[in-house]
């Protein structure tokens, strides 16, 4: 085992340590509040989390699959526009959409104001109440369906058109062809996309906390911030982590199952739509964009204009500077560690080194609240054991470490894909010329991997700029980011002050979407 393999193994263990620490908490003494949590909190929180994730995943899978099929099989009006536009709801984090829609549907919002002032309904008749869980599912579906859409769209592009055209020739109509042929052929990608949505819902903290829905993520935060019982929070997070490991194993089992396919598939010829069918297909495309892009942006712009008129736009230089500094440092660290781990797995392949990237990819499914509690339990003892421990626990270093532990998968996926395309020929040629491994990589591969370095940095920076639960739990005193600033303003019902940081975060998210779609061309 060479020193590069040892270094990669050390990096993997370092950033997997929070999860390992949480699993060890199951055998540690429970906190004083654990019996109460186990009896009164855990069943309700687990049920709410499972219900929200399952319902949202099913609905998002249905919407994303229908949109992907329409894009693949039919010549929808303005088709080139919809291909990129349907992914734009990903730019809006669900916790921002939560307070936007809460106001939009509230008493002073546009909907009830329209019913009272334009339609003329009395206030009691115009009152509109949507239960928070139902509104949460609506928001999750609306802003997470693009994950399913992208996965299914890519899968349909690899399917052979002969099967679908045979069904049409045998007299099957559009609906029957979709349910009897398209859905069974794409079941693996549909399930994979639905599970991805389920992971996102399970890991969400901001939306559930804003609506007051008790879930496992909010329970973990409440056990630490409300009860100040870190051992109990660790045990609750460990139970959550075990359930996630089971879901990850299920996802890997489903997505790795081989399905028959044609090596050189013939693309499906799109059918032209006319009349009512064209209008219906156009409506199906417009509705997600209206509710997922235009309404949130219009409401936030209205908030921002109101803040400007009232003179209550607070300076955002400090949270903006904190966000940029942490995101840039985190993105650089993620890219560096991902490059090390993927290069070692590619150039020194063994069962052990091949597992390093897989461990980091699996960590992406772990929610931020779970990672935060694992980091707290792992690093807080440093403050009492070492005189310099405060330099880690009382500074942004702890938050930076958590960023890397949570988002290394972004860099690993990018660098591994670039490395697989590059191969080993340049590295092997340099090694045959007598260069040591580090020089063979630096001189032979690094210049060719420069675009992947930039992509990894940008994607990681965008993910870190939007991160909420890690920043809420681990930030030092009086240290705010754009995400925490927007969330805390919204929690205090100071929505017009929350507009400016929210618009910046959405702009960062839009950059992510544009970059992602640019890479798919």
Kindly calculate the radius of gyration of the chain based on its CA atoms and give it in whole angstroms.
25
Give the model's pLDDT for residue 144.
93
Q: Running DSSP on this structure, what letter comes out for residue 116?
A: I
Helix (H, G, I), strand (E, B) or coil at 97: helix
Rounded Cα gap, residues 447 and 436, in angstroms: 17
Does 391 reside within a domain? no
Please report, for the chain, how many H helices and E strands are present, in that order.
Answer: 29, 2
Does 171 reside within a domain? yes
What is the pLDDT averaged over residues 266-291? Answer: 82
Q: What pTM did the predictor assign?
A: 0.87
**Who wins on pLDDT, 194 or 154?**
194
**Contact assessment for residue 460 and residue 334, using Cβ atoms and an 8 Å cutoff:** yes
Q: Judge whether residue 258 has pLDDT over 60.
A: no
Rounded Cα gap, residues 487 and 479, in angstroms: 14
Rounded Cα gap, residues 442 and 347, in angstroms: 13
* Chain mean position to CA 365: 9
**Contact assessment for residue 51 and residue 484, using Cβ atoms and an 8 Å cutoff:** no
Rounded Cα gap, residues 209 and 452, in angstroms: 36
Does 246 reside within a domain? no
Q: Judge whether residue 392 has pLDDT over 60.
A: yes
> Which residues lie below 8 Å from residue 319, measured CB to CB, with a gap of 6+?
480, 481, 482, 484, 485, 501
| Tens digit of each residue's pLDDT (9 = 90 or more) over 161-179 | 677 767 777 777 777 777 7
Of the pLDDT bands very low, low, confident and very high (cuts 50, 70, 90), residue 138 is very high
What is the pLDDT averaged over residues 175-191? Answer: 81
Of the pLDDT bands very low, low, confident and very high (cuts 50, 70, 90), residue 259 is low
Rounded Cα gap, residues 443 and 162, in angstroms: 48
Of the pLDDT bands very low, low, confident and very high (cuts 50, 70, 90), residue 29 is confident
Rounded (to 5) percent helix, strand, coil in the chain: 80, 0, 20
Question: What percentage of the chain reaches a pLDDT higher than 70?
Answer: 94
* CA atoms lying within 13 Å on the CB side of residue 269: 6
The residues with which 75 forms a beta bridge, in sequence order, are 272
Does 357 reside within a domain? no
**Contact assessment for residue 202 and residue 53, using Cβ atoms and an 8 Å cutoff:** yes
Give the model's pLDDT for residue 97.
93
> Which residues lie below 8 Å from residue 159, measured CB to CB, with a gap of 6+?
185, 186, 261, 262, 265, 268
Give the model's pLDDT for residue 145.
93
Minimum mean pLDDT range among 118-122, 401-405, 501-505: 118-122
Question: What percentage of the chain reaches a pLDDT higher than 90?
Answer: 27
Of the pLDDT bands very low, low, confident and very high (cuts 50, 70, 90), residue 520 is low
Of the pLDDT bands very low, low, confident and very high (cuts 50, 70, 90), residue 71 is confident
Q: Judge whether residue 260 has pLDDT over 60.
A: no
Q: Token pair for residue 160? A: 């052979």
| The dihedral sign for the CA sequence 184, 185, 188, 193 | negative
**Contact assessment for residue 119 and residue 199, using Cβ atoms and an 8 Å cutoff:** no
* Chain mean position to CA 159: 27
**Contact assessment for residue 430 and residue 440, using Cβ atoms and an 8 Å cutoff:** yes
Does 20 reside within a domain? no
Does 131 reside within a domain? yes
Name, of 129-138, 151-160, 222-231, the range with top average pLDDT: 129-138
Mean pLDDT of the chain, nearest integer: 85
Rounded Cα gap, residues 23 and 240, in angstroms: 10
Long-range contacts of 255-262 (CB under 8 A, 24+ apart): 255/188, 255/191, 255/192, 257/188, 259/185, 259/188, 261/158, 261/159, 261/160, 262/159, 262/160, 262/162
Does 91 reside within a domain? yes
**Who wins on pLDDT, 254 or 477?**
477
Give the model's pLDDT for residue 299.
92
Of the pLDDT bands very low, low, confident and very high (cuts 50, 70, 90), residue 100 is very high
Domain that holds residue 130: 43-229+279-305
Of the pLDDT bands very low, low, confident and very high (cuts 50, 70, 90), residue 134 is very high
**Contact assessment for residue 376 and residue 475, using Cβ atoms and an 8 Å cutoff:** no
Q: Judge whether residue 151 has pLDDT over 70.
A: yes
Q: Which of 77, 80, 57, 211 is nearest to 140 (CA)?
A: 57
- DSSP string of 252-297? HHHHTS-----SSPPPPPPEE--HHHHHHHHHHHHHHHIIIIIHHH
The number of folded domains in the chain is 1
Q: Can you give the CATH number for the domain in which 206 is found?
A: 1.10.3720.10
Rounded Cα gap, residues 141 and 146, in angstroms: 9
Give the model's pLDDT for residue 335.
92
Residue 36: C-alpha distances to residues 24, 324, 490 (Å): 21, 41, 31
Does 360 reside within a domain? no
Give the model's pLDDT for residue 77.
75
Give the model's pLDDT for residue 381.
85
Q: Judge whether residue 261 has pLDDT over 70.
A: no
What is the pLDDT averaged over residues 275-279? Answer: 81
Helix (H, G, I), strand (E, B) or coil at 11: helix
The residues with which 272 forms a beta bridge, in sequence order, are 75
What is the pLDDT averaged over residues 404-430? Answer: 84
> Which residues lie below 8 Å from residue 506, measured CB to CB, with a gap of 6+?
91, 92, 93, 96, 296, 297, 300
**Who wins on pLDDT, 174 or 402?**
402
Of the pLDDT bands very low, low, confident and very high (cuts 50, 70, 90), residue 99 is very high
Give the model's pLDDT for residue 257.
56
Q: Judge whether residue 447 has pLDDT over 90.
A: no
What is the pLDDT averaged over residues 422-436? Answer: 79
Name, of 4-18, 303-317, 359-373, 377-391, the range with top average pLDDT: 4-18
370, burial (CB in 10 Å: exposed 0-12, middle 13-18, buried 19+): buried
Rounded Cα gap, residues 304 and 314, in angstroms: 11
């Amino acid at each position: 085992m060479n020193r590069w393999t040892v270094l990669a193994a050390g990096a993997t263990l370092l950033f997997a340590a929070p999860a390992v620490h949480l699993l060890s908490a199951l055998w540690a003494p429970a906190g004083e509040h654990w019996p109460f949590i186990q009896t009164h909190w855990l069943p309700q929180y687990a049920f709410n989390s499972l219900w929200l994730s399952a319902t949202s995943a099913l609905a998002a899978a249905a919407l994303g699959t229908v949109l992907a099929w329409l894009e693949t099989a039919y010549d929808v009006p303005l088709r080139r526009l919809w291909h990129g536009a349907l992914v734009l709801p990903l730019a809006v984090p669900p916790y921002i959409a939560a307070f936007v829609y809460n106001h939009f549907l509230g008493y002073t919002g546009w909907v009830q104001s329209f019913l009272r002032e334009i339609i003329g309904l009395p206030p009691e008749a115009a009152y509109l109440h949507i239960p928070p869980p139902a509104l949460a599912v609506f928001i999750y579906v609306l802003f997470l369906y693009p994950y399913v859409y992208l996965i299914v769209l890519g899968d349909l592009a690899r399917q052979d058109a002969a099967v679908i055209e045979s069904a049409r020739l045998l007299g099957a109509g559009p609906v029957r062809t979709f349910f009897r042929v398209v859905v069974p052929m794409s079941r693996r990608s549909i399930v994979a996309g639905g599970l991805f949505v389920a992971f996102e819902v399970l890991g969400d903290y901001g939306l559930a906390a804003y609506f007051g829905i008790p879930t496992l993520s909010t329970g973990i935060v409440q056990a630490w911030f409300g009860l100040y019982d870190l051992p109990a929070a660790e045990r609750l997070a460990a139970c959550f982590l075990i359930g996630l490991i089971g879901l990850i194993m299920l996802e890997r089992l489903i997505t790795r199952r081989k399905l028959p396919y044609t090596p050189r598939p013939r693309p499906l010829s799109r059918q032209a739509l006319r009349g009512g069918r064209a209008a219906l297909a156009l409506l199906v495309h417009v509705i997600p964009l209206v509710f997922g892009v235009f309404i949130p942006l219009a409401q936030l712009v209205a908030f921002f204009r109101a803040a400007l008129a009232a003179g209550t736009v607070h300076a955002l230089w400090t949270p903006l500077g904190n966000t940029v500094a942490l995101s840039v440092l985190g993105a650089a660290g993620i890219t560096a560690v991902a490059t090390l781990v993927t290069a070692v797995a590619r150039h020194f392949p063994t069962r052990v080194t091949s597992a390093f990237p897989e461990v980091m990819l699996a960590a992406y499914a772990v929610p931020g609240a779970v990672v935060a509690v694992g980091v707290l339990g792992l690093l807080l003892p440093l403050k009492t054991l070492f005189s310099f421990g405060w330099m880690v626990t009382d500074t942004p270093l702890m938050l930076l470490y958590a960023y890397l532990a949570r988002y290394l998968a972004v860099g690993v996926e990018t660098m591994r894909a670039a490395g697989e395309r590059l191969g080993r020929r340049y590295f092997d040629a340099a090694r045959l010329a007598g260069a040591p491994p580090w020089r063979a990589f630096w001189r032979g591969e690094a210049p060719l991997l420069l675009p992947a370095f930039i992509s990894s940095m940008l994607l990681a920076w965008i993910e870190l700029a939007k991160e909420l639960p890690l920043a809420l739990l681990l930030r030092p005193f009086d240290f705010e980011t754009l995400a925490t600033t927007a969330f805390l303003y919204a929690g205090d019902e100071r929505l017009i002050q929350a507009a400016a940081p929210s618009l910046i975060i959405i702009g960062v998210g839009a950059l992510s979407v544009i970059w992602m779609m640019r890479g798919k061309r």
